[in-house]
Amino acid sequence: MAEGRRGLGRGLSALLDEARAATTPEGREAAGAMDLPIEAIRRNPEQPRREFDAGALDELAESIRERGVIQPILVRPLPGMAGEYQIVAGERRWRAAQLAGLRAIPALVRDLDELAVMEIALIENIQRADLNALEEARGYVAMTKRFGRSAEAIAKIVGKSRSHVANTVRLTRLPAAVQDHLEAGRLTAGHARALLDLDEAPQIAARIIAQGLNVRQTEALVRHARDPKSGGRPRATAPRKKDADTRDLEDSLRDALGLNVDIRDVAGKGEVRISYQSLEQLDDLCARMLRGGPLKTA
């Protein structure tokens, strides 16, 4: 789990570890957890996770009836509302506790600002793999718009690569109908990425779902939509074998730039191809190169 928190600020990491450690009455007392009335706790409207599986909630509620809430939730005092709290992490446990009929739930109370609340909520959900790709993307966009966080900064916070963050954010550019399919689980993130910047995306999305196409079949369908003469087949290219060092360098450049990179080397000579999907990405790439600083490859 330590690797999953790569780059976390010390304060956020400590809060998450503290919440996980308080699993017994003695541990709760040591960590400062207390039982709070269920009705005094409010959900966070900025919570990145929007969908809660009813069946999974019922299972958790049954577990809570038998064993109680093992891990305290994390809350902060609601400004200007004495005795009321807002959930920072643990909304699923709070919902299940209500289903289980609990009147109080163990909680850690911490004073946190809006940025810390959003960061912790994202981190907890991503580490638990509870967010779908679109929820994750919206969380990243909110951090950028509200707090000016760059893709690089967000990547460090959540322990992901910059390219992962950038590519996930791109999903918010999909038409609303395609986003609905993605959020409902009818399409995967791989399907959705293939439909980016495609005028016929909603129609092709419906066909993917109706025919149960996999990602490779979807990519072929999209190639045909973009170039009907191709018949959905990838363009023929001469087979190339790349050594491990070249592949590693491509991966490092992809992480640093958030763009696809293809290195073609023959006897120490060749070319580097960087693919972009929008003028915004091209502008960002040019700005990085013109600054003249070394690329970050970590």
> What does each of the 298 residues of the chain score in pLDDT, given as a tens digit?
333 333 444 455 555 555 555 444 444 444 578 899 999 999 888 777 777 778 888 888 998 998 888 888 899 998 888 889 999 888 889 999 999 999 999 999 988 888 888 888 777 777 665 678 888 888 888 888 888 888 888 888 887 888 888 888 999 999 999 999 998 889 998 899 899 888 899 999 999 999 999 988 998 899 888 877 655 554 444 445 676 667 777 777 877 777 788 888 776 778 888 887 777 777 777 777 776 544 443 3
Distance, in Å, from the CA atom of 192 to the CA atom of 201, rounded to the nearest integer, reads: 9
Distance, in Å, from the CA atom of 266 to the CA atom of 59, rounded to the nearest integer, reads: 58
- Judging by beta carbons within 10 Å of its beta carbon (0-12, 13-18, 19+), is residue 63 exposed, middle or buried? middle
* Domains of the chain, first to last: 3-127 (3.90.1530.30), 174-236 (no CATH), 244-291 (no CATH)
Residue 224's CB: how many other CB atoms inside 10 A? 15
Catalytic residues: 91
- Judging by beta carbons within 10 Å of its beta carbon (0-12, 13-18, 19+), is residue 33 exposed, middle or buried? buried
| Residue 68 contacts residue 28 (beta carbons within 8 Å) | no
Q: How high is the pLDDT of residue 46?
A: 79
Distance, in Å, from the CA atom of 213 to the CA atom of 170, rounded to the nearest integer, reads: 22
Where do runs of H (alpha helix) occur along the chain? Answer: 10-21, 25-31, 54-67, 91-99, 114-127, 133-147, 151-158, 162-169, 176-184, 189-194, 201-211, 215-226, 244-257, 279-291
For residue 135, CA distances in Å to 101, 111, 121, 166, 295 come to 29, 25, 12, 14, 30
Q: How high is the pLDDT of residue 231?
A: 55
